Amino acid sequence: MRKTEYLEKDGGVSFISTEFDPGMIFDCGQCFRFDPVGDFWEGVACGKRIRVHAKDSLVSVSPCTGKEFEDIWYDFFDLEHDYKKIGEDIIAHSGEYAPVMKKAIETGRGIRILKQDGWEALISFIISQNNNIPRIKKLISVLSEETGSERFPTPEEILMLGEERLKELKFGFRAGYIIDAAEKVASGSIVLSKIEKMSFDEALEYLTRIKGVGVKVASCTLLFGFGKLSAFPIDVWIKKVIDKYFDGVLPDFGEYAGVAQQYLFYNERYVQNKS
DNA sequence: TTCCAGGACCGGG
DNA sequence: CCCGGTCATGGA
């Protein structure tokens, strides 16, 4: 029994959610392939181009059949989780910092952690290192167009492109990292589907075998590509947050620490530093 | 011109 | 183990 009921009509699917803001979901640094078009957000995920619209808690996804919603988008948008309860759980773990977290959660209300394709998330966050969000988006778009469709390329397709081609496309020092990831996945020395059953620490060790994948990139991959909501990626923005709000020591936010991280990231990156 | 961006790697101490 | 330099690129 799904927790979120939906209605299929006019080539799309609609459902009610009070915890769903497309603008915040797609523009909070977890996903790099969606852009605002008019009053909706459009982009490609899981090999399909969709439009997402939300107004007064009514969310619509199109084009989308009921089957596609069941098979793909329900999990992609993490609709099984109750983000109101997650927020309460985070606050319960926040101790003396509960006021800070209440504010961050309130500001970030509407954000959800997407469960993106694991392979795409891995490459996306390899590309993200020492890079800025507009250029990350551009590089991922260029990579996807390189195979002749919008679909994100498979490991085999990336190997066909080769490191030199990636450098021509301005991936810089990340080209070799992308190739190493593609080689390990294509050869089967890394099997991404095994990660689902791994603990966070096991999965972290597994992914960091790839060149160019450190703790931060692996954490983002696990949080945004494998639904491991306890992952807490620490980047330059979160380092600032830890010093600024938590006296330099990261609190243990519990099993939904990754959601807490995203609220904090959003608040610091897009609210405190309006640019 | 220099600094910075959702970092990781490498070498030296 | 920890530290600083380095790695490509482009926008501010």
pLDDT tens per residue across span A1-14: 577 899 999 999 99
Helices within chain A (DSSP H only): 22-26, 66-68, 74-76, 83-92, 98-107, 118-127, 133-145, 155-168, 174-187, 200-207, 215-225, 236-245, 257-266
A195 pLDDT above the threshold of 70:
yes
Q: What is the pLDDT of residue A271?
A: 84
Mean predicted confidence (pLDDT) in A189-194: 98
Q: What is the mean pLDDT of chain A?
A: 96
Nearest Cα residue to A225 out of A84, A120, A79? A120
Strand C proximity list, CB < 7 Å: A 130-132, 134-135, 167, 170, 172-173
* CB-contacted nucleotides of strand C (7 Å): 7-11
CA A127, chain centre distance (Å): 13
3-state helix, strand, coil in chain A (%, to 5): 50, 10, 35
Amino acid at site A23: G
Q: CB of A101 within 8 A of CB of A91?
A: yes
Asked if strand B comes closer than 7 Å to A132 Cβ, the answer is yes
Portion of chain A with pLDDT greater than 90, in percent: 93
Nearest Cα residue to A157 out of A178, A133, A177? A178
Portion of chain A with pLDDT greater than 70, in percent: 99
CA atoms within 13 A on the CB side of A249: 7
Q: What is the pLDDT of residue A274?
A: 60
**pTM tops 0.75, yes or no:** yes
Mean predicted confidence (pLDDT) in A191-214: 97
Nearest Cα residue to A23 out of A95, A104, A108? A108
pLDDT digits (tens, 9 = 90+) for A233-266: 999 889 999 999 999 999 999 999 999 999 999 9
Asked if strand B comes closer than 7 Å to A259 Cβ, the answer is no
Rounded to 10 deg, the angle between the A257-266 and A83-92 helix axes is 90
